[in-house]
Each structure stands twice: as C-alpha cells, then as structure tokens.
C-alpha cells in the first residue's frame, strides 16, 4: 500500500482531547522511533476556529474574533483520518517545530499561530479554518 500520510496532508483527529479537530501533518514517521515504536505523526491543528465577523463590528472586535488558537501534538496513525486536502507548509516552519521540551513546544505553537493567522487573513484554505459540523 502506498504512503499517503505525507507532510502537508490535512487530517481529522479521532481520539483524545482534540477529537473532531482538523490538523495538518508537519512531520511523519511511518516506521516509528525508539520512544514510539509505531507509526505516528507530528500534527499542528486548529483548537479554536475564528468566529464570524460582521460589517458593524469595530476593528478591535474583528481582530479578537479572527484569532486562531492552534495545538501541536504527536498522534498515532490509527487515530487520524486523512482528507483529500493538502496545506503547503513553509520549509522554514517544518524544521522549527518541536515538542521535546515545553519551552520549545510553546515557541513552536507561537510560530504555528502566526502561520495559521496569516493564511486565514489572506483567505487561503478557508475549509481548514471553519468549525467541523457533524
């Protein structure tokens, strides 16, 4: 069977705290590692999607409602469902995301937040930033 869980593939998380949330694969490990001897992937996703904006709102309220809260997590391949969508991730961002230490994870989350907010404001990948209705 071909390998389809590649970097940039949009997936839905099925188990855990972020079940039902959309995420994008940042790094993938099909064979596993010494600590995690199973196929897993480092994903970055949308914890809280931006809210609707109306014309009558002020700039401050618009900025507040258009924020994206991201999450970063290492997930087993059994707990993700791939979609047909892809998200092109900058090569600069790929190498900087790490979950080894809490301080690195916090810095990575800020980096992902800026990347996601830039995409949202530019109007790219609208489906990724909408709340999943089911």
Backbone angles phi, psi at 32, to 5 degrees: 95, 180
Q: Which of 87, 61, 73, 76 is nearest to 21 (CA)?
A: 73
**What pLDDT was estimated at residue 1?**
46
- Which residue in this structure is represented by tokens 């995409």? 119
Q: Is the pLDDT of residue 113 over 80?
A: yes
Task: Report the predicted TM-score, pTM, of the whole model to 2 decimal places.
Answer: 0.86
Q: Is the pLDDT of residue 84 over 50?
A: yes
Q: Which of 72, 54, 58, 59 is nearest to 17 (CA)?
A: 72
Sequence length of the chain is: 134
68-88 average pLDDT score: 92
């Amino acid at each position: 069977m071909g390998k389809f869980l590649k970097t940039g593939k949009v997936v839905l998380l099925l188990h855990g705290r972020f079940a039902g949330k959309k995420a994008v694969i940042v790094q993938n490990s099909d064979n596993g590692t010494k600590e995690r001897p199973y196929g897993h992937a480092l994903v970055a996703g949308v914890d809280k999607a931006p809210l609707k904006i109306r014309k009558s709102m002020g700039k401050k309220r618009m900025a507040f409602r258009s924020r994206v809260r991201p999450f970063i997590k290492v997930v087993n391949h059994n707990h993700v469902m791939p979609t047909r969508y892809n998200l092109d991730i900058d090569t600069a961002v790929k190498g900087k995301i790490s979950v080894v230490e809490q301080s690195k994870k916090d810095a990575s989350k800020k980096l992902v937040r800026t990347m996601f907010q830039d995409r949202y404001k530019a109007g790219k990948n609208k489906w990724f930033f909408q709340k999943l209705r089911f």
